[in-house]
Chains A and B, each alone.
Chain A
C-alpha cells in the first residue's frame, strides 16, 4: 500500500502540466473551463480567407459569428436578459441540484448575413442566412 501511494504521488507532477495546458475544443467540449464565467457573448470570427475558401466564397471575407457561453448564476450582469422561467428554474435547481439543471446560456438576439459563393464553375448564389450572428446572450 505504501509503495502504491508513493508511485501515485510521484506520478502526479508528470500529469499536472499536461492537464494545465489542455484547452478544450469550443464546439465539442461542453465542460470548457471558460464556461465557469457568467453567461456572456464570446467572440468567434469565421474567416473564409484563413480557411482558404476565398476562391469559392466571393464575399464576405469572413464574419463575426460570436457565441454564448458561461453559467447562469444570479444576479446576472445588468445587460443580460433572463426569462422568468430561467429565474424559477435557478431557484428549483438550488433546491434540487441533482434533478433540475441550471438555465441555459443561449442567444437572445440574432442577425442575418449574406454570403455570395459559386455553386459550380459558372453559376453564383447570393444567400441570406437569417440567424447567423449572435447579437446578445441571455439565460433561458
Chain B
C-alpha cells in the first residue's frame, strides 16, 4: 500500500496499490537489484545456500557463534562485493576419462558477472566421519584439452583429510579464472585421493567418506564458492 504520515506521529495507509502499480513497483525493485528474471524454484536444503546464508549472517552486525564458515577469513568476505556459489554438476561431461577411481566435478560458471574481479575461489568438499581412521591426501586437478580425445590433468591444490571429517577447502582460483576468460576450456575438475603410505595407489573419494553422489544428503554435496570485487563498471540489464 501507499502509506503517509498523518501529521500526528502516525503512519496510515492512504490507499492500496492497484495490481498494475504493484507490478510497476516490482519491476522498479527488480531493475534496481539488477535481476532480469525470476529463476525457477530452488530445491531447499542444499549446502551452497546454507554456506552463503552463514556468510550473510556474518555480515550482520551481531557476532554469532553458530556459523559454520570453516575458519574462513572474515575480512575477505567483508571485502567482497559479490560472493557466488556453484553446485557441482558431476553428471555433465563424463566422457573421455581414463582415470576410474577419481571423481570429476563440473560447475556452470556462465553466470559470473562480467567486469567483476575474481578475488578467490574455493572447492568445498564434505568428508563424513570415517569408520576407518585413516589419513589421506585429497588433490584437485584441472582438466585441460591436450589436442587429442584424452584430457590432461593439471594439479591445482591438495589438502590433508583426517578421520574426524568436516569440510575440506581447496583453492581453485586458477581454474575459475581460465573458465571465465575462456568458457570453452571449462572441462571441469578431477578429484583424486591417495593414502600416504601408498602414493601410487588411487582410491575412491567415497572410501574416506567424501560426499560426491547426487543421491546423498543435499546439504553435504560438493560446491564451489567464488569471491568477487566490483570493478566499478556497472552492467545493467534491460527491462
Residues of A within 8 A of B (CB): 21, 23, 25-28, 34, 42-43, 46, 51, 53, 55-56, 58-59, 114-130, 132
Contact = CB atoms under 8 A, between A and B. Distances in A.
B14 A121 contact: no
B82 A126 contact: yes
Interface in B1-56: 2-5, 11, 14-15, 21, 24-26, 28-29, 32-33, 35, 38-43, 46, 48-49, 52-53, 55-56
Contacts of A21: 15
Nearest to B221: A122
B188 to A, nearest CB: 16
B35 A117 contact: yes
Contacts of B29: 46, 51
Contacts of B80: 128
Contact of A121 (B24, B33, B39): B39
Interface residues of B, number: 42
A34 B4 contact: yes
A123 B81 contact: no
Interface of B: 2-5, 11, 14-15, 21, 24-26, 28-29, 32-33, 35, 38-43, 46, 48-49, 52-53, 55-56, 59, 80-87, 89, 108, 111, 230
Contact of B87 (A53, A55, A123): A123
A129 B33 contact: yes
Contacts of B46: 122
B81 A58 contact: no
A26 B35 CA distance: 22
B39 A59 contact: no
Contacts, number: 100
Contacts of B84: 119, 123-126
Contacts of B56: 58-59, 114, 116, 126
Closest 9 CB pairs of A and B: A122-B87, A23-B14, A126-B83, A118-B42, A124-B85, A120-B39, A124-B49, A116-B56, A23-B15
Nearest to B21: A25
Contacts of A51: 26, 29
Contacts of A128: 80-82
9 contacts: A120-B39, A122-B43, A122-B46, A123-B85, A123-B111, A124-B85, A126-B83, A127-B81, A130-B81
Given A51-B26, A115-B33, A117-B35, A126 B52 contact: yes
A123 B86 contact: yes
B4 A123 contact: no
Nearest to B46: A122
Contacts of B53: 58-59, 116
